[in-house]
Amino acid sequence: MGMLKEFKEFAMKGNIVDLAVAVIIGGAFGKIISSIVDDVLMPIIGKIMGDPNYFATMTAGGVPVGKFIQAVFNFIIIAFVLFIVIKGINAMKKKEEAAPAVTPEDIILLREIRDALKK
C-alpha cells in the first residue's frame, strides 16, 4: 500500500492537476479554433477566391494541400490568441509587482519598540 499512497500523493500534487486541466482546456480550445477556421474563415476566403471549396479541393502536383493550409491557419490563430492571453497575464503581474508591500502592523510596532529602546 505504500507505493499506492506515494502515487496518490504524486498524482494529486497541484502542478499535475493544473497540467491535466490545461490539457483538457487546450483540447477544447483547439476544437473551437478548428471550427472557426474550417467553418467561418475558410469559406469566406474560398468565396473571395471564387470557389467556396477552394482550399478543400486545392492540390499541388496531385497532393491535396488544402487541409495543410487549414492547419497552418489554425496554428496561426491559436498562437496569436495565446500571445494575447500571455501578454495580458504578464501585464497583470507587472501591476501586482509594482504595488508596494504593506508592512504588517506587528512589524511596525516592533520597529517602534526597537527605536524607543535605542533612545
Residues 10-21: pLDDT tens digits? 777 767 777 888
Candidates 56, 65, 24, 26; CA nearest to 38 is: 56
Q: Which CATH architecture has domain 2-118?
A: Orthogonal Bundle (1.10)
The DSSP secondary structure of 12-77, one letter per residue, reads: TSHHHHHHHHHHHHHHHHHHHHHHIIIIIIHHHHHHHHT-TTTTTT-EETTEE-HHHHHHHHHHHH
* Banded model confidence at residue 101, pLDDT cuts 50, 70, 90: confident
How far apart (Å, rounded) are the C-alpha atoms in residues 107 and 79?
A: 46
Q: Is the dihedral of CA 55, 56, 58, 64 positive or negative?
A: positive
| Per-residue pLDDT, 4 | 85
Grid coordinates representing 74 are: 489554425
0.85 cut: is pTM over it? Answer: no
Is 52:43 a contact under the CB 8 Å cutoff?
Answer: yes
Q: What is the pLDDT of residues 19-78, one digit of tens each?
A: 888 888 888 888 888 788 778 877 787 788 777 667 777 888 888 888 788 778 878 887
DSSP 81: H
Instruction: Identify any residues that bridge with 60 across adjacent strands, giving them in sequence order.
Output: 63
